[in-house]
Structure 1
Amino acid sequence: MKGLEKFEPDTYYHLVNHAVGTENLFRTDENYHYFLRRYAHYIPSVCSTLCYCLMPNHIHFLIKTNSEEALKKHPKFKNDYHKLIMQQISNLLNAYAKAYNKKYERKGALWIDYTKRFKIKSENYLTATINYIHQNPIKHGFTQNLEAWQHSSFHSHTSEKPTLLSRIEVLDWFGGINEYVKFHSQNTAGLRDEWE
């Protein structure tokens, strides 16, 4: 089924999740920072992260699952790569929702029931996905300028600050920082609706 591909080792995926109804996932800058800290706790043990974008009501990540050998060494591995990775994603979302509900004195689900996952099957698709994820705040009207949105990996790729992102892999993919920035500035059209 589209958007529900099973996770396999050593494979790229575009992940998308959304708040339930008209809720917001993030109300303050601290909410965004806290989510990324939780992400750094749960996710690197099962995959590397190429890029991301957090918006008030939904999130996008481009990940590459770890190798078969690395996943088998995970302390929670039980002969099913997909279940292991899904469990770590679920742990992340649940941990964030629990903290969010406590902080804002709310009850009930925060995220929709499943995280969509799209397997990246070509080099062009990978390039388009990185650009799409970074351009998403413009598409949804949260900003008019990609560089003005502080809650994506766009700036992290051009920074020299330490990061958990696969920065070098992404920049090499585009041919360096200048080409990375140039590609994003010249490719603002064709933001595909099918991933929403």
Structure 2
Amino acid sequence: MDKLVHDTFYHIYNRGNNKENIYYKDSNYIFFLQSLDSYLFPYLDLYSYCLLPNHFHLLIKTKSEETILKNGKINLKNVSFDEYGEIIGEIFRRFFMSYSKAINRQENRSGSLFKKLYQRKPINSDNYLIRTILYIHLNPVHHKLTEDFETYRWSSYNKMLNQVKSKLRKNEVLDMFYGIENYIKLHKEERDLMVLRNEEL
């Protein structure tokens, strides 16, 4: 799998090993997001997310090399561009390991919580970026957990619409959609299409 590179949007996702749950109660979702903040925010920006019982989706943008050198918790002064992806990969590994250990203790389980390799897809166009945000926010509808994606608690959809301070890149996301009204409109249109497709299956 290709290494992560700097200044690039990625759709990051993974699921539980053997499709098992990775979240068992509300505090697990909260801990996951807190750990994401602690481990990864020095190295990337978060644009959207959705956490479902057995998998998650993140839209991230890796930070510039200059910002990494300035804010990163690891000494990267002698790091080349070729090594950058290895460092980001290592930070993701530590993040997943920390979360897995906490859940294994909670559930008195052992072994891998996640599938071995998390997926990362680079995003190379504005249209693909918007489609990815829609897909992430509507994932609960896609998996038939609910048709009311607007009130799904573990998604960033509503976080974009409130005034609560957050590390989400809210203004940038809303600018991609040319404002709040179009952001809401496109999500609802995509939801309606998804519901129809689900009914046809």
**TM-score (norm. length: structure 2):** 0.89
Please tell me whether residue 185 in structure 1 is matched to residue 182 in structure 2: no
The one-letter code matched in structure 1 to 2:116 is D
Question: Gapped runs of 5+ residues in structure 1?
Answer: 192-196
1:139-158 paired onto structure 2 within 5 Å? 139-158=142-161
- The SS at the match of 1:91 is helix
Bigger Rg over Cα = 2
* Cα pair 1:8 1:81 within 8 Å, conserved: yes
Q: 2:38 aligns with which of 21, 25, 41?
A: 41
Q: Which residue of 2 aligns with 1:194?
A: none
Counterpart of 2:130 in structure 1 is 127
Q: SS where residue 60 of structure 1 aligns?
A: strand
Q: Which position in structure 2 is the counterpart of 1:72?
A: 69
**Corresponding residue to 1:118 among 117, 121, 127:** 121
Q: Percentage identity across aligned positions?
A: 36
Whether the 8 Å contact between 2:44 and 2:60 is mirrored in structure 1 is: yes
| Most deviating of 171-180 and 69-78 | 69-78
Match of 1:88 among 70, 86, 91: 91
SS in 2 for 1:21: helix
User: Which residue, out of 18, 22, 29, partners 1:21?
Assistant: 18
**Cα distance in 2, alignment partners of residues 91 and 45 from structure 1:** 14
Residue identity opposite 1:136 in structure 2: N
Q: How many angstroms does 1:148 deviate by?
A: 2.5
Query: How many angstroms does 1:104 deviate by?
Result: 1.2
The root-mean-square deviation of aligned C-alpha atoms, in Å, is 1.5
Which structure 2 residue ranges, 5 or more long, are not aligned?
196-201
